[in-house]
Amino acid sequence: MPKRPPRSQPLPKVIPQTSSAKPKGRFPRILLGGGLLAVLLTAIYFGLGLDSDRPWGPAPAGMVWIPSGEFEMGSNDPRSDEYPRHLVKITGFWMDETEVTNDQWSEFVKATGYITIAERVPKREDFPGLDIREKDLVPFSAVFQPPQEKIDPHQYQEGGPLPPWWKKINGANWRHPEGPNSNIEGKGNYPVVHISWEDANAYAKWAGKRLPTEAEWEYAARGGLKNAPYVWGHTPQGQDGKYFANTFQGEFPHLNTGRDGFLGLAPVKQFPPNGFGLYDMSGNVWEWCSDYYLRYGYPNKTVVDPKGPELPPAANPMEERQRDRVRRGGSFLCADDYCKRYLPNTRDCNPADSAANHTGFRCVKDAK
């Protein structure tokens, strides 16, 4: 797949428990079968309001159970790529409570020797149509660098040149997030960045997990709230001086006031979790999903555990980004005056081999 420059900044712009059921075999059946003990345990189980489809036993380390349910995915704005709002049913799953951290990524690298795409020497064929000099074939990634002076970000349109606040920095990668002179010392609990979709999948496979589907991600982000505008509810970010996520305050891209407490990345868990116990589903770093991106891809009907579009065999001119992968949740660079994409329904995408210093991921795991 061609290593295209990342389009790193987005441009302007519960199945109520299918209760037929027994608890799906995850509750020890031997106990259900008999007597007082079963009655007692069942009473405790349901009486405490525990999720009735949560697998029995301890949760995998660092993961929380996202119970089965249904929700309305997307929005009713026909101009947006979230259209139309439609009913989706999701089977319960485990999800990492935080974005994958530098410490977690380091364990993976130590165990496997994995080298991210941003650390590899690119090939000439990674840049189709460009006359790349041999000396320029060096590992790089995209780093946000604010301009010195005020500029109107809306002048940069989708499909145009990379906006000037994104720089191709040789030697930028997860160990050196801002470039070769930076490092992650003391930042083990920060989200790992400069991770491509392909890198994220390699980690997930090693960890016995997978990337979430876009539908799973949005369902989890909503935390059980019905059509709330934010993952935390209805209060706008910054109202009465309250902040609920690491986003961008000020004037994008040149003036970052850091009113939420963080000018750049934040360690994970600096803001309260959502209703499912998930941290940073809004802001901090974008999170990869497994789906291919389709701008006009949401079906207007009830769907169960949708996995996103199959890649069509022929290119559709309406879907110029169809080979891109979805990412969700926005980042520390999402600004209300430019790209308010830290909402549970907002979407973005990038090529699977691209990386930047505002993109990471988290994983999910099936119950069985």
- Binding residues for Ca ion, per CB under 5 A? 246, 260, 262, 280, 284, 329, 332
- Residue carrying the six token digits 């606040």: 165
Q: Which is nearer to Ca ion, 53 or 280 (CB)?
A: 280
Q: Which is nearer to Ca ion, 3 or 204 (CB)?
A: 204
CB of 41 to Ca ion, least distance (A): 37
CB of 282 to Ca ion, least distance (A): 7
Exposure string (b/e) for 257-275, b if CB count within 10 Å is 16 or more? eeebebbbbbbbebbebbb
CB of 151 to Ca ion, least distance (A): 20
Do residues 196 and 204 make contact, with C-beta atoms less than 8 angstroms apart? no
Q: Which is nearer to Ca ion, 3 or 195 (CB)?
A: 195
CB of 39 to Ca ion, least distance (A): 43
Compute CA 135 distance to the chain's CA centroid, rounded to the nearest angstrom: 34
What is the Cα–Cα distance from 66 to 219, expressed in whole angstroms? 9
Q: What would the two tokens of residue 270 be?
A: 């600096």
Q: Which is nearer to Ca ion, 53 or 82 (CB)?
A: 82
CB of 362 to Ca ion, least distance (A): 8
- Residue carrying the six token digits 């994995």: 114
Q: Which uninterrupted H or E stretch holds 202?
A: helix 197-206
Q: Which is nearer to Ca ion, 29 or 242 (CB)?
A: 242
Cis peptide leading into 212, omega within 30 of 0?
A: no
Q: Which is nearer to Ca ion, 329 or 351 (CB)?
A: 329
CB of 189 to Ca ion, least distance (A): 14
Collapsing DSSP to helix, strand or coil, 143 comes out as strand
What is the Cα–Cα distance from 358 to 31, expressed in whole angstroms? 48
Q: List CB contacts of 347: < 8 A, sequence separation 6 or more.
A: 81, 82, 214, 293, 326, 328, 341
